[in-house]
Amino acid sequence: MLVLGLSGGCDSVFDRNFKLFEDAHHDTAAVLMEDGKVVAGIEEERLIRIKHTGKIWRFAVLFCLQQANKTLEDIDYIAIYSNEDILNKVLKKYQICNPLLAEIGDARKLYRYLFQSEFGFCLRDEQLVFVDHHISHAATAYYMSGFNDSLILTIDALGDTLSTNVIDARNKRFDNLLSKSESDSIGILYLDVIRFLGYRIFDEYKVMGLAPYGCSETYKEQLRRLYTLLPNGDYTLHRERVIELFSITNPRKKDAPFTQVHTDIAAALQEAIEEIVFHILSHFQQVTGHTRLVISGGVGQSSSMNGKILRSGLFKDVFVPSFAGDSGCAYGAAAYAAHQMQPELPFARASHAYWGTQIHDDEIGETLDAWRPFLHIEKMDNRSEQVSDLMIDGAVIGWVQGRSEFGPRSLGNRSILADPRVATHKETINAMIKMRESYRPFAPSVLEERVLDFFEVPGENAEFPFMSFVLNVKPEWREQLPAITHIDGSARLQTVSRTSNPRYWELIDAFGRKTGIPVLLNTSFNNHAEPIVDSINDAVVCYLTSGLDYLVVGDYLARKKDWQPSDMSGLIVSLPKAALLLREDYYVNHSERGFTYSLAWNYDTARDHDYDPTRRPHALSEPWYKILQAADGKQSVRQLMFILGFSNEQQAQVLEELPGLWSDRLVVLRPGSGNDNF
């Protein structure tokens, strides 16, 4: 039996027709299962290169079908991560203002319309299955954990009108114990508070990294006014009191420096959330007697909280997938539907999530060769030995192997790797490569067999393949592992299995044999403006626009040539499909008019890039407006400048701005022989 699970929205990458569920439906993904086992799974963002995209799952679905050599006609069930009745009510609200939706009708008709418009496929009514949002979250963690019986906590901002669910799971039976609505959303409360720190949605993990720098006692009482713990594991929130934080500070402006006030608020917020969660779990552990816990939902991505739960001893074992957020609901919806339709299906502890795009060894050389004007390329005789030597010499490596990881965390197949003993790597990678805040920590990857030598691991389980827990680095190793040890002595670790990922295991083992420390610094292979790389071309682009020293793809080692912006002008240029190229006329004063050129996005107005050098680091000038207006994905920057008749001065301006635009992924560049579809 084939089941396709889907999460995400309704609009194609190039349009914004429906504008449905823009806040609720994000992190679009597709997962294909056959008899309860994953055949393929990928987030749409990896393929269309829009971070946290809520666009429709077109390319993710096509990918899954291609991997399985199947068509939509072959799929038995398509599982959607939404409650059908609630979805119908939401659609009615949208239909009041959108005549197109009124013509489409209810949720089933909507999905039939979407499959017809995207794939030319007539969806059969019996194929379509709706799975509640929080049940999808619950199923994700439950079926991946392999626990027959467990307590399940799902906790996020909002899904199907709920924000928190506590479930008693026994032999695939889910009995709901507690449900909380939007008014008591811990996820939304978190968002309300982090706005005072200059952050917004999808920045929650940044605050988790900031919290250890602060003192939670300073503002503990102010944060406690935002919630009340009730009997029987219940709670209520007082989100209207968030404005009281103005008595502490005004909201931090973007790019303003962090002060002790900000770090103290972050620490108090983290402690407040954890106090509520422990209140819930302590009660329901006693009520149910469960010794095992699984956690899912966006708040479940808080690895710091998860580590404290594990260390508390409240449960003998705790499982959290690396994709506890909404992308994981594609897995959860598919798994729940599969086990409902075939109750006899077995399930076991998942050891990995390498379900994405495969890097085939026989395609690497040809793909890299198209970038030879920019790269020195060689094929290595002994990948692990040579790359480990480079890292010991201080190099930072972009590492691409095998199938990409499903979810938001790099687990050793699309990673940036470095020597964890070099303290300066923390600043270098944050500033030159990731282009992000300096305080942000990096994760260690350690051989599964050696984790107990370096980290304080509570309980019997010592396997942490999904990087979901923050645990303490043993005190005697903290000074020797400065690049992966956070300010409080902790680290969000990943254990690496020789069975699940032999290439990554061999690299860490080679590094360990030479240094005595089988641990590597591991962070996601991307910069600040994009999702984790997926294809070889994604990796090359990220490498060329970052401070990485080397790129390793399969057995191939690449390093940068001494190229100039003028060399980049030979690349074919195109406008990103989600971009809006605008020219706006306006009055400068009562008598004069002016105009600006801007590149906006059809999904996130916060990424608008207007031509105002005082406000924008990468302005869109008139020459670039003209180039992008003429770009058809067939001609190079150099050719377009010639066709448009640019002066020497205009050409110089284009070349000066080109590296910044490419680094921020405001333009798409590829070699003439490239085969990208996007």
* 140-152: pLDDT as tens digits: 999 999 999 999 9
Q: Is residue 341 part of a domain?
A: no
Q: Which of 195-209, 297-311, 328-342, 550-564 has the lowest mean pLDDT?
A: 195-209
Has residue 617 got a pLDDT over 50?
no
Q: Which residue has the higher pLDDT, 26 or 652?
A: 652
pLDDT at residue number 418? 98
- Is 343 inside any structural domain? no
Q: What does the pLDDT look like over 218-256, one tens digit per residue?
A: 999 999 999 999 999 999 999 999 999 999 999 999 889
Question: Does 332 fall in a domain?
Answer: no
Question: Are the CB atoms for 172 and 147 separated by under 8 Å?
Answer: no
**How far, in Å, CA of 520 to CA of 515, rounded?**
11
User: What is the token pair recorded at 481?
Assistant: 């592992």
Tell me what pLDDT residue 254 has.
80
Q: Are residues 367 and 515 in the same domain?
A: yes
The 10s digit of each residue's pLDDT in 36-76 is 999 999 999 999 999 999 999 999 999 999 999 999 999 99
> From CA 591, how far away is CA 65, in angstroms rounded?
60
Using CA atoms, how far apart are residues 382 and 167, in angstroms rounded to an integer? 50
Helix (H, G, I), strand (E, B) or coil at 9: coil
Question: What would the pLDDT profile of 75-115 be if each residue is shown by its tens digit?
Answer: 999 999 999 999 999 888 888 887 777 788 899 999 999 99
Report d(CA 598, CA 611) in Å as an integer.
6
- Provide the CATH number for the domain around residue 179: 3.30.420.40
Task: Confirm whether 105 is domain-assigned.
Answer: yes
Q: What is the mean pLDDT of residues 655-666?
A: 94
373 and 498 housed in the same domain: yes
Do 53 and 67 fall into the same domain?
yes
Domain carrying residue 484: 361-563
Handedness of CA 632, 635, 640, 643 (dihedral sign): negative
Tokens of 507: 């690299």
3-class secondary structure for 374-394? CEEEEECCCHHHHHHHHHHCC
User: Does residue 376 have a pLDDT over 60?
Assistant: yes
Alpha helices in 69-147 (DSSP H): 84-95, 99-104, 107-119, 133-145
- Say which CATH number the domain at 638 has: 3.90.930
Residues 101 and 151 in one domain: no
Same domain, 74 and 165: no
Please state the domain count of the chain: 4
Q: Is residue 356 part of a domain?
A: no
- Residue ending a domain, among 512, 539, 563, is 563
- Residue 673 reports pLDDT greater than 70: no
β-pairing, 77-80 vs 2-7, is: parallel
- Give me the percent of the chain exceeding a pLDDT of 70: 96
Going by pLDDT thresholds of 50, 70 and 90, the confidence category of residue 20 is low
User: Are residue 307 and residue 399 in the same domain, yes or no?
Assistant: no
In single-letter form, the type of residue at position 596 comes to: T
Residues 558 and 603 both lie in one domain? no
Q: Do 385 and 491 have their domain in common?
A: yes
- The answer as to whether 330 is a domain residue is no
- Among 522-526, 563-567, 661-665, which stretch is predicted with the lowest mean pLDDT? 563-567
Residues 29 and 92 placed together within one structural domain of the fold = yes
- Using alpha carbons only, how large is the chain's radius of gyration in Å? 25
Q: Which pTM does this prediction carry?
A: 0.95
* Euclidean distance between CA atoms 653 and 636, whole angstroms: 16
Spatial separation of the C-alpha atoms in residues 327 and 317, rounded to whole Å: 24
**Same structural domain for residues 490 and 399?**
yes
The reply to whether 21 falls in a domain is yes
Q: Are residues 386 and 472 in the same domain?
A: yes
* Token pair listed for 495: 């254990």
Q: Of the candidates 536, 563, 590, which is a domain's last residue?
A: 563
* 349 in any annotated domain: no
> How distant, in Å, are the alpha carbons of 418, 430, 527, 550, 554 from that of 543?
15, 15, 9, 8, 15
Q: Clarify whether residues 176 and 107 are in a common domain.
A: no
- What sections of 172-327 are H helices per DSSP? 186-194, 204-210, 220-224, 260-288, 303-312
Q: Which of 563, 588, 617 is the last residue of a domain?
A: 563
Q: What pLDDT sits at residue 300?
A: 95
